[in-house]
Amino acid sequence: MIGCEELAVNGGPKAKTTPNIPMYPGGLEMGEEEKTQLLEVIDRKYLFRYYGPAEFPSKVSEFEKRFAARMGAKHCLAVTNCTSALINALVAVGVGPGDEVIVNGYTFFASCAAIVAAKAVPVICEIDDSMTMDPEDFKKKITEHTKAIIAVHMRGTPCDMDRITAIAEEHNLKLIEDCAQACGGSYKGRPLGTFGDVGCFSFQYHKIITAGEGGACITNDPVIYDRLMGYHDAAACWRPDRFGEERYRGELFCGVNYRMSELTGAVMLAQLGKLDSLLDSMRANRKRIKEGIRGVSGITFRRLNDEAGDTAVCLMFMLNDRDKIGPFTEALQAEGIDAAGVFNKGIPDWHIYSHWKHVLDRATPTPEGCPYTCPHYKGDAPERYSPDMCPNTLELLSRTVHLDIPAQMTAEDCDMIASGIRKVAAALL
């Protein structure tokens, strides 16, 4: 009987006896397709997207076309990573000095750092039990200085896009979606990244599809696309006449260099072909585990705004009592299950705002303190920065258990995970 099984942490047999698979969904699928694409780039000596010793079709352009088509967007711009995609998006939609941008308090720190890099002031917003932006708190955090919002589809799951887009529209805010962890996800059948002005993606090695590093912006707006192009390439290589006059006001301004290399574009072309099968596998694995533990008392699954559109990169559930998280996850690990708690005050984690010391302290690379002290900024949001400013976020995360769902897991792996969770829950909850 499950309730009587000796826990592995107390010397009993492990529930999961197979090795744990690391969470590199696309990374673990690197193979012949990537090699073929890469070798073509090397053989052609065509490593820069705009030109080379002889003309060849650009891998980066081809990737952009296919990514835009897969995501249902009119335009895609490939860049160096998602941090640069977010900065690019903020600049392209017109965020700058004097502006506030609202962002989730639970996201990788880069979503917030991008706002400071774009010379605006971050305003940190609560999450709800979906682990994504709480629309009610988003509404409360809007001020006359709010210019934009970054809605992060955190841990692979869509935000409540019905409510978020409605609030953004009502207040005339620019909407940027951070899809770094949710590539290929959707909300009510519509691909993530296409609800707002710009969708931003990461192809860093932990992400669903990857080239080690890489990123992309998608948009349906031709002017925003021009401005994305403009900021991402200081050399203005994209322009029909690189040294010509501005075609319209706001087209030409000083940019940076976030251009994607052909080597990255080649790997991403091969990886994009694997996206849907990776999503299918992760969704099937998570479904199997969830079904195996449905009804277990003492655990509540993270609420999903749209289960069908979730990328299923992880399984998250809450316990009733935060004090049980330590013993519960320790027992799961002893069972051979790679589970962890999400928030522990003492253990820094760049995904939780209370550990964003450099934001809370308003640390800046130069002593003038811009953007917080920028004379264009008339708001007072930074005065309320504190480790406790989003108590619901901390409370929720302190009770949450997280398990990665590698695409490469077998049905047997999933069944052993479910049986281990049942066993530990029966003993400890």
Ligand X SMILES: Cc1ncc(COP(=O)(O)O)c(C=O)c1O
Is the CB of 202 or the CB of 354 nearer to ligand X? 202
- The only residue of 73, 102, 110, 266 in contact with ligand X, by rule CB under 6 A: 110
Closest CA to 178 of 99, 233, 114: 114
Tell me whether residue 45 is exposed, middle or buried, using C-beta atoms within 10 angstroms of its C-beta: 0 to 12, 13 to 18, 19 or more: exposed
In contact, 150 and 176? CB cutoff 8 Å:
yes
Convert residues 48-87 into a mask of x (bound to ligand X by CB under 6 A) and - (unbound).
---------------------------------xxx----
Is the CB of 194 or the CB of 419 nearer to ligand X? 194
Least distance (Å) between residue 174 CB and ligand X: 17
Under the binding rule (CB under 6 A), the answer on residue 353 touching ligand X is no
Give the residue carrying structure tokens 């589970």.
339
Is the CB of 8 or the CB of 131 nearer to ligand X? 131
Residue 207 is a catalytic residue = yes
Tell me whether residue 248 is exposed, middle or buried, using C-beta atoms within 10 angstroms of its C-beta: 0 to 12, 13 to 18, 19 or more: exposed
* DSSP 8-state secondary structure symbol assigned to residue 76: E
Convert residues 181-220 into a mask of x (bound to ligand X by CB under 6 A) and - (unbound).
x--------------------x-x----------x-----
* Helices of type H across 295-390: 325-334, 357-360
d(CA 422, CA 416): 10
* Helices of type H across 97-173: 110-117, 135-140, 161-170
Which neighbouring-strand residues pair with 27? none
Of the chain, the end-to-end C-alpha distance in Å amounts to 16
d(CA 199, CA 219): 7
Which residue is catalytic, options 59, 119, 147, 207? 207
Least distance (Å) between residue 175 CB and ligand X: 15
Under the binding rule (CB under 6 A), the answer on residue 125 touching ligand X is no
Under the binding rule (CB under 6 A), the answer on residue 165 touching ligand X is no
Least distance (Å) between residue 193 CB and ligand X: 13
d(CA 422, CA 427): 9
Is the CB of 180 or the CB of 339 nearer to ligand X? 180
Is the CB of 29 or the CB of 177 nearer to ligand X? 177
Convert residues 134-163 into a mask of x (bound to ligand X by CB under 6 A) and - (unbound).
------------------x-----------
- The only residue of 24, 67, 108, 195 in contact with ligand X, by rule CB under 6 A: 108
Is the CB of 219 or the CB of 419 nearer to ligand X? 219
* Helices of type H across 273-371: 275-293, 325-334, 357-360
Which spans of this chain sit near ligand X (rule: CB under 6 A)? 81-83, 107-108, 110-111, 152, 178, 180-181, 202, 204, 215
Which amino acids are annotated catalytic? 207
